[in-house]
Amino acid sequence: MAYQTIKTFYANKNIFLTGGSGFVGVSYIEKVLRSMPDVGDIFILLRPRKGQGIQERLDTIKNNSVFDVIKASEGSDVLLNKIKPVCGDISEEKLGLSDNDFSILCDHVNIVVHCAATLDFETDLKTAITINLMGTKRIVELSKQMKHLQCLLHVSSAYVNSNKNYAMEKIYDAPANYNDIINYALTMDTDKLNSSAEKIMGDHINTYTFTKALAEHVVNDAKNDIRTCIVRPSMIVASWKEPVEGWTVSKNGPQGFIMGASKGVVRRLPVNQSLIYDYIPVDVVINTIIAGTWFSAQLPKSTPTVDGQTPIFHCTTSTCNPFRWKDISSILTTTLHKYPIRGAVWYPNIKFLPNLFMYWISSAIFHFIPAYILDFVTKISGGRPILVRLHKNVNRSLSKLAPFIFNEWKFDNARTLRLQEELSVDDQSVFYIDPTSLNWTPYFINLTLGVRKYLHKESDKTMKQALKKDFFLFIANGGVQLSIVIGIWYLSSFITGTPMLANFWAAFIPIIFGYFF
Ligand SMILES: NC(=O)c1ccc[n+]([C@@H]2O[C@H](COP(=O)([O-])OP(=O)(O)OC[C@H]3O[C@@H](n4cnc5c(N)ncnc54)[C@H](OP(=O)(O)O)[C@@H]3O)[C@@H](O)[C@H]2O)c1
């Protein structure tokens, strides 16, 4: 197809974005403004939250570190002023929009990007239906009323097909009729609905994948009325290249794990190092959203579909550049000591356990015992103890996450790779969507640095002090380990009433335990 370039396409286009305060949303706003300054306005749907009105929420968004690069350039105010907050909530009728905002959107918007969702795997079914399914239906209804709409892009998830080990870029049969499910949410008693969740969801792992799978069908059913597109990312992680390498504000997945590991608090993780884990950098996801919108907007009005469906793009790496933890595990601890944090509470040391049973045992020793001791010290020195609560929360959510940790999925992304080929040479370099050339080792080093800077908020200036502290913790950790070995050795000699030398084997107990757990 002979397309205009992406930059030309986006010039003067007005965008309506939901989920603009989230990880994907802020990244999308940043990339669009930085790479396509000629874009029109970006209307973002915001709900008042935690005592903040939408104007205050917009100020918070503008203070996000993602905009540091834009702010360092001239004319950043003009660009950031293109973000227009609109008060609403996707779980409410007509998205909770005022009549005035509703008609402004209908009159002016050309592109809709729907990112808002609840991602909490533990969300009850009713809430997940209300936000992920009914919210998407409301977005589709609004989009249909937009006079100048060119494309509605829906951000889905590769795991909508978590009931298949190999998924293609196509829409599979719905796990249920979405109108029936919406009807349940509207008419059934909440407790009854939530307690019937497992039965209703069939082979879906949780309410998130179930409701996101149904939401895709809502979008696909609109394919003949408006141009639509669906992007399915896997687990979204820190940026690969832009706005800077390793940028992130998400504490999900490897980022949260590395955050806890660099503090010395998370020391064990249940992971099958030989399995493929599908991670995709956020900048690649954003570029696919931008390119997917551009692609679908230019499909013929008579048949705005591919193979009779809404075009689907997998933002995934499992088939084109598979990642396995065993490939980087050796550099992980080294990296944490090369770039330590000043706020570490103990000497970082990570170990992967191949199953949950071994993890529970190991976690009891290496997470909970130190957590109880450190919380006690914090409490008597007037601080707020958090570690025991944190580990309890982690362990609770690990039970829910287990199917994701010990399963391998492959997501075919041939169509997405072909999309890259369809871009002009210039667009290919600005809106790179092919992750095949990503080298996971330097990527994870940058991710660790990103976690240090953007999640722990430690600037490069703290590095010297952090290195000194890391050395101190190394000595302290060694001292504690030696004391444990000698302590158990002594205890065994004391219990058996025999000399220490005759009990030298007892010294190996903690060493062997530490090796396996
Ligand atoms: N992160 C991932 O690894 C991942 C992977 C695959 C797919 N996805 C998809 O990517 C999209 C964005 O995810 P994310 O990582 O950016 O999530 P996120 O950081 O948790 O952001 C979620 C966004 O949705 C908004 N939202 C939630 N409920 C809303 C409601 N009732 N009304 C209006 N806005 C609401 C939130 O607004 P508030 O600030 O007001 O809460 C926030 O802006 C989602 O559709 C998700 O399913 C994400």
- pLDDT at residue 402, rounded to an integer: 84
Nearest CA to ligand 1 atom 21: 22
Q: Is the CB of 47 under 6 A from ligand 1?
A: yes
pTM above 0.85, yes or no: yes
Nearest residue (by CA) to ligand 1, atom 36, is 19
| Residue of 16, 17, 21, 126 with the most ligand 1 atoms within 8 Å of its CB, for mutation | 21
Q: How far is the CA of 481 from the centre of ligand 1 (A)?
A: 43
pLDDT of 82 strictly over 90? yes
User: Is the pLDDT score of 421 beyond 70?
Assistant: yes
Q: How far is the CA of 246 from the centre of ligand 1 (A)?
A: 20
Nearest CA to ligand 1 atom 26: 116
Pairing assessment for the beta strands 111-114 and 151-155 based on DSSP bridges: parallel
Residue 513 has pLDDT above 90, yes or no: no
Average model confidence (pLDDT) across the chain: 95
How far is the C-alpha of 470 from the C-alpha of 447, rounded, in Å? 19
8 Å CB contact between 128 and 207: yes
Ligand 1 and 60: CB distance under 6 A: no
Ligand 1 in contact with 252 (CB < 6 A)? yes
Going by alpha carbons, the residue nearest to atom 1 of ligand 1 is 236
How far apart CA 423 and CA 294 sit, in angstroms, is: 10
Buried b (16+ CB within 10 A) or exposed e, 411-427: bbbebbbebbeebeeeb
Residue 144 has pLDDT above 90, yes or no: yes
Query: Which residue has a Cα nearest atom 15 of ligand 1?
Result: 23
Average pLDDT over residues 216-241: 97
**Torsion angle (degrees, nearest 10) of CA 461, 472, 245, 258:** -140
Is 23 near ligand 1, meaning CB less than 6 Å away? Answer: yes
Residue 298, CB-side half-sphere exposure with 13 Å CA sphere: 16
Give the model confidence (pLDDT) of 333-345 as tens digits.
999 999 999 999 9
Q: CA 255, 455, 403 angle in degrees (round to 5)?
A: 25
> What's the pLDDT tens digit per position in 363-408?
999 999 989 999 999 999 999 999 999 899 888 878 778 888 999 9
Q: If you measure from the C-alpha of residue 44 to the centroid of ligand 1, how many angstroms do you get, rounded to a whole number?
A: 13
Distance set, CA 240 to CA 26, 285, 440 (Å): 16, 11, 10
Q: Is the CB of 131 under 6 A from ligand 1?
A: yes
Which of 59, 115, 120, 210 for mutating ligand 1's site (highest number of atoms within 8 Å of CB)?
115
pLDDT at site 257: 92
Judge contact between 201 and 212, C-beta under 8 A.
Answer: no
Nearest-atom index, ligand 1, CA of 116 = 24
Burial of 490 (0-12, 13-18, 19+ CB in 10 A): middle
Check pocket membership of 117 for ligand 1, CB cut-off 6 A.
yes
Nearest CA among 29, 68, 31 for reference residue 45:
29
Place of tokens 């100048």: 148
Residue 396: what pLDDT?
Answer: 83
- Please give the torsion angle defined by the CA atoms of residues 223, 183, 206 and 126, in that order, rounded to the nearest 10 degrees: 120
Q: Give 490's contacts (C-beta < 8 A, 6+ positions apart).
A: 500
Q: Which residues pair with 235 in a beta bridge?
A: 279
Nearest CA to ligand 1 atom 24: 116
Q: 221 CA distance to ligand 1 centroid (A)?
A: 23
Torsion, Cα 260 261 266 268, to 10 degrees, reads: 140
Distance CA 289, CA 151 (A): 11
Give the number of the atom of ligand 1 that is nearest the alpha carbon of residue 253: 3
Tens of pLDDT, residue by residue over 454-498, are 999 999 999 999 999 999 999 999 999 999 999 999 999 999 999
CA distances from 184 to 129, 176, 178, 194, 438 (A): 9, 12, 10, 10, 45
Q: Residue 2: is its pLDDT beyond 60? A: no
Residue 106 DSSP SS3 = helix
Residue 400 phi, psi (nearest 5): -70, -30
Q: What are phi and psi of 90, to 5 degrees?
A: -70, -10
Ramachandran quadrant class, 479 (left: phi over 0; alpha: psi -120 to 50; beta: rest)? alpha
Cα→Cα distances 167→119, 158, 171, 404, 496, Å: 21, 8, 9, 15, 61
Is there an atom of ligand 1 within 6 Å of 30 CB? no
Atom of ligand 1 nearest to the CA of 236: 3
* Residue 61: other Cβ atoms inside 10 A: 21
Q: Is the CB of 85 under 6 A from ligand 1?
A: no
- Output the CA 285–ligand 1 centroid distance in Å: 14
Distance of CA 359 to the CA centre of its chain: 23
For 250, residues 6+ apart whose C-beta sits below 8 A from its C-beta are 23, 236, 237, 238, 256, 282
Ligand 1 center–CA 25 separation, angstroms: 8
Mean pLDDT of 347-365: 93
Amino acid identity, residue 448?
A: T
- The residue whose CA is least distant from atom 2 of ligand 1 is 236
Q: Is 49 in the pocket of ligand 1 (CB under 6 A)?
A: yes
* pLDDT tops 80 at residue 1: no
What is the pLDDT, as a whole number, of residue 170?
A: 98
Question: Residue 100: pLDDT band by 50, 70, 90 thresholds?
Answer: very high
For 232-259, what is each residue's pLDDT tens digit? 999 999 999 999 999 999 999 999 999 9
Task: Provide mean pLDDT across the span 66-90.
Answer: 96
CA 108 to chain centre: 31
Q: What is the 3-state secondary structure (H, E, C) of 153-219?
A: EEECCHHHHCCCCEECCCCCCCCCCHHHHHHHHHHCCHHHHHHCHHHHHCCCCCHHHHHHHHHHHHH
Structural contact between residues 171 and 311, judged by C-beta atoms closer than 8 angstroms = no
Between residues 301 and 228, the one the model is more confident about: 228
Q: Establish whether residue 233 lines the binding site of ligand 1, counting it when its CB lies within 6 angstroms of any ligand atom.
A: yes
Instruction: Answer whether residue 286 shows pLDDT above 60.
Output: yes
228 three-state secondary structure: strand
CA-to-CA distance for 484 and 237, rounded, in angstroms? 38
Residues with Cβ within 8 Å of residue 412, at least 6 apart in sequence: 166, 167, 168, 169, 314, 319
Question: Cα–chain-centroid distance for residue 69?
Answer: 22
**pLDDT in the model for residue 3:** 67
Compute the average pLDDT of residues 273-302. Answer: 97
Higher-pLDDT residue of 397, 153: 153
